[in-house]
């Protein structure tokens, strides 16, 4: 019997929620935050299914099996007392830049209704840092005056600051990157290719998403580049730029490898810390300025050249 949404490495966060539930002190809003790809959304879905009645074994109540009727309704999006908010597709079939105020208002209206099945009503915003300012403000009334038996889960990747007034009204579950063992277990459970473990860096979601041939090739090109940094041969740089520009996931894999490399050196090398911050900002700049993959890759490589310059 397969678990519907298996989760690894976050037992302490799950237990905090279960303790609050058992004590009858369940908070109305939970902010689930941490790096991308570690299971924040999956945790929110597991907690939602539990509240709505899905159950696993007595010693693992959140591990509802795929055969559980409540779990199946949540997974298919057909449960009448559950709403999931994510960025939607626009007229051109591309994701919108943020979760709109209209989506938030529909959610707040949903919370004013009676539960269709007489129990809890739940909602997940995935992610709150992808909600525009008007939407965030529209959410405040529900957080300030929560209806009875309503629980809202806010996933936060930390890409953008969220309103202090939202944070102060939530109970925070802070998740960290997974250990190598937990990450490997998560990847195996998902049926990811063996190469995914090398690119995951404790984030199984990233490993699964970036296990395409082009992404794996870009990651390997980044590693070759970093082995020669900061004095990078032009031929190697050109090959890396070509691999990184192959597609969107290749670019993400390339950037992730460089970011991890810089992060490891940031505590002892001020220049690496400065460059890590610049590279972290580059992702947002690239989307805002509509930069193509070649431009982004060039900036990433140029930053590595800067490490060779005397201070």
Task: Give per-residue pLDDT as tens, 111-130.
Answer: 999 999 999 999 999 999 99
**With bands split at pLDDT 50, 70 and 90, how would you rate the model's confidence at 52?**
very high
**With bands split at pLDDT 50, 70 and 90, how would you rate the model's confidence at 311?**
very low
> How crowded is residue 48: how many other Cβ atoms within 10 Å of its Cβ?
26
Instruction: Please identify, among 127, 161, 176, the residue that sits at the C-terminal boundary of a domain.
Output: 176
**CA proximity to 29, closest of 38, 42, 20:** 20
Global confidence as pTM: 0.88
**pLDDT of residue 230 exceeding 80:** no
Whether residues 92 and 171 share a domain: the answer is: yes
CA–CA distance, 126 with 293 (Å, rounded to integer): 26
Instruction: Please identify, among 176, 197, 232, the residue that sits at the C-terminal boundary of a domain.
Output: 176
pLDDT, tens digit (0-9, with 9 covering 90-100), for 266-303: 888 888 888 888 877 776 676 666 677 777 888 888 87
Instruction: Please identify, among 151, 176, 201, the residue that sits at the C-terminal boundary of a domain.
Output: 176
Whether residues 169 and 29 share a domain: the answer is: yes
pLDDT of res. 309 = 53
**CB contact burial 194-224 (16+ within 10 A = b; e otherwise):** ebbbebbbbbbbbbbbbbeebbbbbbbbbbe
Strand partners, 33: 156, 174
Whether residues 220 and 104 share a domain: the answer is: no
Of the ranges 30-34, 174-178, 243-247, which one carries the lowest mean pLDDT score?
243-247
Residue 278: both structure tokens together:
């610049």
Residue 105: both structure tokens together:
């208002």
Whether residues 115 and 233 share a domain: the answer is: no
pLDDT of res. 289 = 63
> How crowded is residue 11: how many other Cβ atoms within 10 Å of its Cβ?
12
Count of domains forming the chain: 2
Whether residues 65 and 149 share a domain: the answer is: yes
pLDDT of res. 276 = 80
148: in domain: yes
Domain with 70, as residue range(s), is 11-176
Percent of the chain with pLDDT over 70: 95
65: in domain: yes
Residue 171: both structure tokens together:
């109970």
38: in domain: yes
> How crowded is residue 160: how many other Cβ atoms within 10 Å of its Cβ?
14
Whether residues 149 and 28 share a domain: the answer is: yes
Q: Which residue has the higher pLDDT, 306 or 274?
A: 274
115: in domain: yes
Task: Summarize the confidence of residues 263-267 as an average pLDDT.
Answer: 84
Domain containing residue 153: CATH number: 3.40.50.300
Strand partners, 166: none
Residue entry with tokens 């969220």: 162
Of the ranges 196-200, 246-250, 276-280, which one carries the lowest mean pLDDT score?
276-280
**pLDDT of residue 310 exceeding 60:** no
Q: Is 158 helix (H, G, I), strand (E, B) or coil?
A: coil
């Amino acid at each position: 019997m397969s678990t519907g949404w298996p989760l690894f490495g976050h037992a302490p966060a799950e237990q905090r929620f279960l303790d609050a539930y058992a004590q009858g002190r369940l908070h109305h809003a939970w902010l689930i935050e941490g790096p991308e790809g570690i299971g924040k959304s999956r945790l929110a879905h597991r907690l939602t299914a539990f509240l709505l009645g899905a159950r696993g074994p007595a010693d693992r109540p959140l591990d509802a099996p795929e055969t559980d009727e409540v779990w199946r309704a949540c997974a298919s999006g057909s449960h009448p007392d559950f709403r999931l908010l994510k960025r939607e597709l626009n007229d051109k079939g591309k994701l919108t830049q943020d979760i709109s105020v209209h989506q938030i208002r529909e959610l707040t209206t949903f919370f004013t209704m009676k539960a269709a099945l007489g129990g809890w009503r739940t909602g997940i915003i995935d992610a709150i840092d992808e909600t525009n300012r008007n939407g965030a403000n529209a959410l405040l009334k529900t957080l300030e005056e929560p209806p009875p038996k309503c629980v809202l889960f806010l996933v936060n990747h930390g890409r953008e600051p969220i309103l202090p007034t939202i944070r102060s009204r939530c109970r925070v579950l802070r998740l960290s990157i997974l250990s190598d063992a937990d990450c490997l277990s998560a990847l195996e459970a998902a049926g990811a290719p063996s190469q995914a473990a090398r690119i995951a860096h404790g984030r199984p979601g990233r490993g699964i998403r970036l296990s395409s041939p082009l992404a794996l090739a870009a990651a390997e090109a980044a590693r070759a580049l970093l082995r020669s940094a900061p004095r990078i041969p032009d031929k190697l740089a050109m090959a890396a730029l070509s691999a990184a520009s192959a597609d969107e996931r290749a670019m993400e894999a390339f950037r992730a490898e460089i970011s991890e490399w810089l992060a490891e050196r940031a505590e002892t090398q001020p220049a690496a810390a400065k460059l890590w911050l610049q590279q972290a900002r580059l992702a947002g700049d690239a989307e805002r300025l509509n930069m193509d993959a070649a431009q982004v890759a060039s900036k990433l490589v140029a930053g590595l050249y800067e490490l060779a310059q005397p201070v």
